[in-house]
Amino acid sequence: MAVGLSGFAFGVTSAGSGLTLLQTCALSLLVFTGASQFALVGALAGGGNPFTAAAGAFFLGVRNAFYGLRLSQLLALPRAVRPFAAQWVIDETTAVALAQPTRRSVRIGFTVTGLTLYVLWNLTTLLGALGADAIGDTDAWGLDAAGPAVFLALLAPMLKTTMERVVAGLAVVLGLGLLPVLPAGVPVLVAALAAPAVLWAEGRRRAPTGPAEDDDTVGEGR
């Protein structure tokens, strides 16, 4: 339901920014990653250069490549199927797949979530674009917050250890802190560095401070 509301909001926003019905629907059919789509139409609505807007959308979409690295191991799909499955690598399908205990349930969770959201996202995009004039300003409705709220609801139960919570917290600080100073999409990529940074710090903390002594050799002049 929340993703459907977000798709509807995108349709309204895209049509309001000057894109045609065909262009709006093509974005959802071919791109299918909400944050990148909102970034693109938002930049265009603000009078930005189309190439600059596309670059910001691209940087936001790069995060899906990191999801794909993990999902390729869990799904273990045949090579011929992977390009089609890549179209459904988004926040929600990744969260649902990672929450499953077996490979079979990972594949089912990924497929059902991907198919459901793809159909719903494109349908509500169409409805939003058609009803753009009637709905008015989407900011007043807060529909654009529905998608992120779904992702946070899926992510929160997965943060079970202290290290996972530290990584998530540091990622939030990096993402929000750099948002005013870096181009659109780049803070998300920088926030991804939270995981290796915390792992490195944890490794340093656990590393021995010096060579261990052999008690049998102490005092023997070796």
pLDDT at res. 142 = 64
Residue 28 CA to its chain's centroid (Å): 16
- Asked whether 174 and 190 are in contact (CB, 8 A), the reply is yes
Separation of alpha carbons 163 and 29, rounded Å: 37
Distance CA 58, CA 54 (A): 6
What integer pLDDT is reported at residue 220 of this predicted model?
47
Answer yes or no: pTM beyond 0.95: no
Q: pLDDT tens, position by position, for the chain (222 residues)?
A: 778 888 888 898 888 888 899 999 999 999 998 888 888 887 787 676 788 778 878 877 888 998 999 999 999 999 999 999 999 999 889 999 999 999 999 999 999 999 999 999 999 999 999 987 666 665 666 655 665 676 677 678 878 888 989 999 998 899 889 888 887 667 777 888 888 888 888 888 887 765 554 444 444 444
In this prediction, residue 42 carries a pLDDT of: 77
The label of the residue with tokens 């071919």 reads 30
pLDDT of residue 71: 95
pLDDT at residue number 135: 66
User: How many other C-beta atoms lie within 10 A of the C-beta of residue 178?
Assistant: 15
Q: In this predicted structure, what is the pLDDT of residue 1?
A: 79
Closest CA to 41 of 109, 116, 138, 161: 138
Q: For residue 159, give every residue at least 6 positions away whose Cβ sits within 8 Å of its Cβ, in sequence order, or none.
A: 165, 168
Residues 6+ apart with CB under 8 A from 34: 3, 6, 7, 10, 90, 121, 147
Phi, psi (deg, nearest 5) at residue 182: -115, 155
pLDDT of residue 89: 95
Residue-level pLDDT at 221: 47
Specify the pLDDT at position 212.
52
**H helices within the chain, ranges in order?**
2-16, 21-30, 34-45, 50-61, 63-75, 82-86, 91-98, 103-130, 132-135, 146-155, 162-178, 186-191, 194-206
